[in-house]
Amino acid sequence: MLLWSDGKDFRIPRGLFEKSRALYSGLGDRSGLAQETFFLGLTFEQEGKTEEAGARYREARALAEEIGDRSTLSYACRHLGGLAEARGDLDEALALQRRSLALREEIGFARLVPFALIAVGDVERKKRMFDDARASYARALAEATRLGSDSALVWAQFGLGAVDEAQGRLDSALGHDESAHEAATRLGSKSWMKETGAAAERLRKRLQEAASARESARRADSPQPE
């Protein structure tokens, strides 16, 4: 559990990570230094201080690359990719997320691979690379199912629904969103239940409107009695 999970005051965890960084630096432990630098970046990102977070993530990435720490490198790439996506630099975001995915597969971080695939799929979808996004989400769904990870299953299904909706496959999109909502309900996550439930309800309304439009068109084309 992260030290700041129950509050919004990041001064205490930030101070602890700064002290840890100093200790690891004094010991010459560059792997520990890279890891604590990454965690320090997280405290800034959670506060929405993206420039400060990015600086720490880049420092952590550089240290991890120098010493071959693939674990910390995968985390740094993942979060740098998220920051790039947030500022609209989708090419950089995709490259970083794909690198993070590759590292996690190399290391054998099985429980994190579905989430890495979802992160890749999200960027591919925003770039309108729908076939690639569908493949990434489908792989994430398969891995989430194999691992029994409802958390990953929620967002893999939600991503597949978003791709289908973007391509006009509303019935299929609704099915995915309903599956995402079911998984969110099993987890008891109120925020995820709200988001997935709202998406499913929006699609139901779109399908109803489309059905009504077709019926109106059919009636308009039907012969009228004289």
Q: Which residue has the tokens 């695939």?
A: 117
Among the listed residues 180, 169, 181, 179, the one whose alpha carbon sits nearest the alpha carbon of residue 210: 169
| CA 132/CA 122 separation, integer angstroms | 10
- Same-domain check for residues 104 and 134: no
Q: Is residue 174 part of a domain?
A: yes
For the chain, what is the domain count?
2
Model's pTM, two decimal places?
0.89
Domain containing 12 equals 1-108
For 44, the enclosing helix (H) or strand (E) is helix 30-46
User: Looking up tokens 């400060």, which residue turns up?
Assistant: 52
**pLDDT over 70 (residue 7):** no
pLDDT at 215: 83
| 114, 51: one domain | no
> Of the residues 53, 77, 108, which one is the last residue of a structural domain?
108
Residue 106, SS3 per DSSP: helix
CATH of the domain at 22: 1.25.40.10
Closest to 177 in 3D by CA, of 143, 147, 154 = 154
Residue 93 and residue 149 in one domain? no
Q: How many CB atoms lie within 10 A of CB 1?
A: 5
Mean pLDDT for the chain overall: 93
The percent helix, strand, coil of the chain (3-state, each to 5) is: 85, 0, 15
DSSP letter string over 11-37?
HHHHHHHHHHHHHHHHHT-HHHHHHHH
The residues near 177 (Cβ < 8 Å, ≥ 6 apart) are 157, 158, 161, 196, 199, 200, 203
Residues 128 and 91 in one domain: no
Residue pair 120/143 in contact (Cβ under 8 Å)? The answer is no
User: Residue 90 is inside which H or E element, if any?
Assistant: helix 90-107
Out of 108, 126, 155, a domain closes at 108
CB 115 within 8 A of CB 138: no
Q: For residues 170 and 142, give the distance between their C-alpha atoms in angstroms, rounded to a whole number.
A: 22
Contact 149, 111 (CB under 8 A): yes
**Could you report the per-residue pLDDT of 88-115, keeping only the tens digit for each?**
999 999 999 999 999 999 999 999 999 9
**End of a domain among 89, 108, 127?**
108
Same domain, 25 and 65: yes
Do residues 97 and 163 share a domain? no
* Residue 213 falls inside a structural domain: yes
Distance CA 62, CA 94 (A): 19
Query: Does 225 map to a domain?
Result: no
- pLDDT, tens digit, 9 for 90 and up, residues 149-199: 999 999 999 999 999 999 999 999 999 999 999 999 999 999 999 999 999
Residues 81 and 119 in one domain: no
131's tokens: 């076939």
Indicate whether 104 and 114 sit together in one domain: no
Write out pLDDT tens, residues 11-29. 778 888 889 899 998 999 9
Query: What pLDDT is stored for residue 213 in this prediction?
Result: 87
CA angle 57, 60, 64 (to 5 degrees): 140
